[in-house]
């Protein structure tokens, strides 16, 4: 049995557990500096992003973390999916697809022009899943990133 709901402040520890599991899967555990307190602050006090949590038989199974973006060409808001994660032992049950469908419905209800996300180029399972639901890669764009240190250096003087 699958249920999906918006996360609440008391879910901060579970969200952190999902983040750590995702980082472990992506072999990036050393990158995680998030804490339960920081998640509570940024997600529920500052409202920097939103989270959906999926439950399989009343147990936390996965999550989707997303936030609003904007398309200048469409002159319309959109949603950027930062993370879609399902516990490895529960994959293949349709949980990820249901989470993504739930998010697509939110995008539709909010009159969004786009629902976008990124996927690591080595994650064949995720790529195959996204292609299977009709998503198209945006190969003509390359994502660039500045981290906190780079931002600080760039803004000096």
Q: Is 6 a catalytic residue?
A: no
How wide is the angle at C-alpha 82 spanned by C-alphas 138 and 144, nearest 5°? Answer: 55
Helices (H), 95-145: 95-109, 124-132
Q: Is 129 helix (H, G, I), strand (E, B) or coil?
A: helix
Nearest CA among 73, 74, 72, 52 for reference residue 63: 52
CB neighbour list of residue 30: distance below 8 Å, 6 or more residues apart: none
Burial string for 96-112 (b: 16+ CB within 10 Å, else e) reads bebbbeebeebbeeeeb
* Region label for 37, one of left (φ > 0), alpha (ψ between -120 and 50) or beta (otherwise): alpha
- Catalytic residue among 25, 70, 130, 144, which? 130
**Which residues does the annotation mark as catalytic?**
130
């Amino acid at each position: 049995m699958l249920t999906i709901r918006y996360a609440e402040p008391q879910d901060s520890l579970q969200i952190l557990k999902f983040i750590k599991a995702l980082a472990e899967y992506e072999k990036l555990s050393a990158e995680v500096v998030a804490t339960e307190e920081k998640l509570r602050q940024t997600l529920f006090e500052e409202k920097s992003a939103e989270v959906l949590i999926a439950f399989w038989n009343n147990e936390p199974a996965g999550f989707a973390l997303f936030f609003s973006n904007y398309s200048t060409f469409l002159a319309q808001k959109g949603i950027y999916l930062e993370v879609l994660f399902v516990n490895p032992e529960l994959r293949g049950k349709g949980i990820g697809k249901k989470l993504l469908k739930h998010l697509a419905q939110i995008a539709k209800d909010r009159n969004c022009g786009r629902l976008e996300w990124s996927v690591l180029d080595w994650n064949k399972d995720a790529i195959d899943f996204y292609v299977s639901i009709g998503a198209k890669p945006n190969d003509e764009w390359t994502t660039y990133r500045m981290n906190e240190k780079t931002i600080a250096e760039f803004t000096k003087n």
